[in-house]
Structure 1
């Protein structure tokens, strides 16, 4: 929450928030989430609070901290993570993403320093599994009470017992909840962004300063390429022409980052490289709304291209990439923009650029206290900053689970068992 707020992000999505633990009136065991919500102006989207906690006291504590609590949807029932009903009522509810955006905008316009909790009930299609898990939680709590298990020993006991009783279904429900929260949170963030663009609310001075610092004078360094997506209409027969459709688009992680920032009204400097071929003109024409003054046009080089052959159902059958030109985004070339780098409010790097360039940029960032965002791009490239001390200059990164495991391995860290289980579940699902 702290990092998101510092970056000017107003909507934060998670699975569930912590709370006041049972017997908290004696143990004073209260999750730091609640205190932080009381002093960080951000909207947290979650599936409510797990019934393993004292939900009633959690809601009371949030009220004491000045945190607005609202259920997302038509019901006033406060959800208990796996269950759409906890037996407690939310003070407020919002029917849709637009109403949620109104609530967040009001909080920001008043300059309040407390956050909001938007509780999203479990989707109906998972309610049955959620009810089974909730019953398992209650059974585990009852057994813990009989055995006298309390305090910090209670949570691990209940989680282990629930996993046994549900035969692993709790993990599947967890993943479904996170997906649903992310969907709802994205809708709310989009609605809030549209409201901000229309200037239908006036943020306080603090908000304006945060947004300005977060979004001004960025530098994005990374790849740009031309994508060709070929989709077959029937089962492919290798060695002959197959009927299908081919579409062209413009991609590259660095380009996508700079493009998105530009469409948000910013003007980041994009540093990349393209060749002198027919693709280069098309790329520059597409990116004409962007600041491409840092894009090198190299003679006798090919603009990066990527071709994907996908099945009728959308699964990747074959991918080919001609990305050699990304290696021309060298330390020597990027150093021409050192003045821009040192004055930037944020540097964004993608994993396509050479390791030496990443090391150089991170050294400049460290020297001038500029935050760096690293987008790992894929598993093979995720470890690049972690092969030296360059990773210490990173403020943000956005890996998927597999890339995160690669980063952990490069640092000699063990991957948490929970992450391994999620990856295994995804692989089995795919």
Structure 2
């Protein structure tokens, strides 16, 4: 019998990926052919329930109907203009919608639009420095803010994000953040920030403090209810702008439009948005009160593709959807269902140390601070048809990023596959 030399489409694409794409980009063995709602289909026709969402970019699900329709309509008008060359309405409309839903302090809100969360964080720092005339930035343990030079410096994890990429940006200082499961209280974190102001940086030189209300890559760590109030008070005492990084936690992910809305009385000076705001297209933004946003001289902010018309059209549809009370109620109910199942799973496995999160932005941390068990769970899930992601400083956290639009049957399927995977791996 002659041997076949046929190569599957899957293997051919992976071979070409190995040949032509930098090894510095980490990729799984999944080769995508199609995605819709809560499902991803590979080139071999295998269907996966998606609890990864392109790392939090699909809160409204793959190919969300209103997004697809809005993008198709925009396609017939123009693809690109560059806002610095010609003003176009979709950009202005997104900024208007962001002003309407902004949690930031101040009656008049303005925004800029850029391409990615990292670019938005960089611009938030630029704006804060311009508005305050100060150079320093305070960030926190477990933070992830991006992969550019400044945001890589602001990010807390060395491998794989920072190793070998120095020297890093100056005037970035790191403080502790509460992590009750690992023994760091709000009092500990505030005391650490005050020590930082005594030992490492004069608070009078700090432009801003940048914090995720639920730390994403750092392990889906929600801030305790009392911490943000004390942080905001300390920032205002020293004239430091408080920047709320909602790239992963925003756009309905926690059952509210912004995660910071779970904390009574908290009004950031600047909000950073991204990921799901574009409905699958690249878009991010910085929003804040007008006097801060206008502190930058004309020409100091911008970018060739920032606020691309297609992405803006998509974002308007996303913001219209996620601000609907029914959408947020569904997301809240989703979180309650998922949390109950995760807590039952944790009760069966001593290896699971904590279930945590806000609303449907949920994760469980394994007690052992090593990545092997989490990697085994992710691999077992993949074999069964479920896409999962690990995260955390030690890679020992499993996070769930199911679409907020997922139907009951697909949710049940995904949770059952998760339970099977955990049972098999642990």
Whether the TM-score (by the shorter chain) exceeds 0.5 is no
TM-score in terms of structure 2 length? 0.29
Flag the structure with larger Rg: 1
TM-score in terms of structure 1 length? 0.29
Structure with the largest fraction of helix? 1
